[in-house]
Amino acid sequence: MANYQQVIDVIKSGSKFLIASHAHPDGDGIGSTIALGKGLERMGKKVVMFNADKVPYNLQFLPYSNEVVDKLGDAAFDATFMVDCSQRDRISGDVAKAQKNSLGKIVLIDHHLFSAAESDIICVDENAAATGEVVLKLFKLIGTKISPEIATLLFCTFVVDSGSFRYSNTSAGLLRDAADLIEAGASPWAISQALDESNPPATIKLLRLVLETFDMADGIGWVVLSQQMLKEASASVDVAEEFINYPRSIKGIEVAVLFRELKTGKWKISFRSKDRVDVYKIAACFKGGGHAHAAGCTIEGDLASIKAMVLGEVRKHL
């Protein structure tokens, strides 16, 4: 499904593009959005970079992050690139509300498995560790020069989605690409410091509340993050991006689950596995998506019922 040539044809034939990723963005979503946008600008294209939510606290160090907008107005585009996201409703905001003809051709650029995609062109490389790796390959095929800023953006996507090059998706190709980005101007130390060592004090307060909910059974470990906890800690949800890794780190736990309250009666469920469980299959049971070792879904209902349903499904896969 990695139709790079079709994407190149769209880029060459158009002049104004919208680039958007999922709401509540992570480093891969934002990094890929801005990197693709700035790469297209280097080709003389007009670009609008969109996200329904503000750039998370720990990603505001990224070059040009202040240029990501949350409103579109009446603009029309030759094509819309959905990066790290296969559905407009996950992007939400003005993109989800926009008339299809104002968005032009919809191009999906991603590395996730998905059950359905709302796009005219699909460029998904399931072997890529991050959507940023797909964007980099696209640039190489086009012959786009990688600036130090674009190198920083793409290197960030690698770090975030490979767990700082620790996860099973860390390939020799990814490391070679990472070396190329360092040579182009990315600083691993500066990026890691910004991502991992620049948290606000509220992070620790929120982590304490979340870890109090920790429980485990049958090779599953889980924690809960509620809206009340966010209020009590005076924290924003973006500081909790890595909280699921705490239960995952415990010996004997094969699958970690984070239940995060989006609003009353609506929960985002994140899954992480170590080796033998394909959590994409679990997420797909609830119309979610992701990868074999990292996936997620959204479910409406009360927490007790959702817990019982989700953990019951996880046990079937252990």
User: Whose structure tokens read 């990501």?
Assistant: 68
List, run by run, the mean pLDDT of 10-residue segments along the chain (318 residues): 90 97 93 98 97 91 97 92 90 92 95 78 93 97 97 98 92 98 98 91 97 98 98 93 94 97 95 93 91 90 97 96
Contact residues for 88 (Cβ-Cβ < 8 A; gap 6+): 82, 95, 96, 106, 118
Q: Which of 91, 134, 136 is nearest to 112 (CA)?
A: 134
Q: Please state whether beta strands 215-217 and 46-50 pair in parallel, antiparallel, or not at all (unpaired).
A: unpaired
- Pair 70, 173 in one domain: yes
Quote the pLDDT of residue 89: 86
Phi first, then psi, for residue 110 (nearest 5°) are -160, 175
- Pair 9, 126 in one domain: yes
- Pair 172, 31 in one domain: yes
Query: Last residue of some domain: 146, 162, 195?
Result: 195
Cα 88 to the center of its chain, rounded Å: 14
Quote the pLDDT of residue 171: 96
Give the domain range for residue 37: 4-195
State how far the Cα of 31 lies from the Cα of 188, in Å rounded to an integer: 15
- Pair 274, 179 in one domain: no
- Pair 160, 292 in one domain: no
State how far the Cα of 68 lies from the Cα of 30, in Å rounded to an integer: 9
- Pair 183, 207 in one domain: no
User: Whose structure tokens read 């609008």?
Assistant: 48
Q: Would you tell me how many other CB atoms lie within 10 Å of the CB of residue 103?
A: 21
Sheet holding 266-273: strands in order across? 215-217, 220-225, 255-263, 266-273, 294-300, 289-290
- Pair 11, 156 in one domain: yes
State how far the Cα of 130 lies from the Cα of 61, in Å rounded to an integer: 19
- Pair 129, 263 in one domain: no
Report the CATH number that the domain containing residue 88 is assigned in CATH: 3.90.1640.10
Q: What is the DSSP string of 91-147?
A: H-HHHHHS-HHHH-EEEEEE-SB-S----SEEEE-TT-SSHHHHHHHHHHHHT----
- Pair 160, 39 in one domain: yes
Predicted structure pTM score: 0.87
pLDDT in tens, 39-54: 999 999 999 999 999 9
C-alpha distances in angstroms, 8 versus 12, 33, 43? 6, 16, 12
- Pair 17, 104 in one domain: yes
**SS3 label, residue 45:** coil
Report the CATH number that the domain containing residue 220 is assigned in CATH: 3.10.310.30
Task: Determine the Cα angle at 238 with ends 127 and 132, to 5°.
Answer: 25
User: Whose structure tokens read 């989800």?
Assistant: 96
When divided into structural domains, the chain yields a total of: 2
Query: Last residue of some domain: 172, 195, 218?
Result: 195
For residue 68, give the DSSP letter.
Answer: -
HSE, CB side, 13 Å, CA atoms: give it for residue 71. Answer: 2
The tokens for 148 are 């130090």
Query: Last residue of some domain: 164, 195, 226?
Result: 195
- Pair 181, 52 in one domain: yes
With left for phi above 0 and alpha for psi between -120 and 50, is residue 143 left, alpha or beta?
left
State how far the Cα of 265 lies from the Cα of 279, in Å rounded to an integer: 23
- Pair 129, 219 in one domain: no
The tokens for 163 are 């767990």
The tokens for 57 are 């606290």
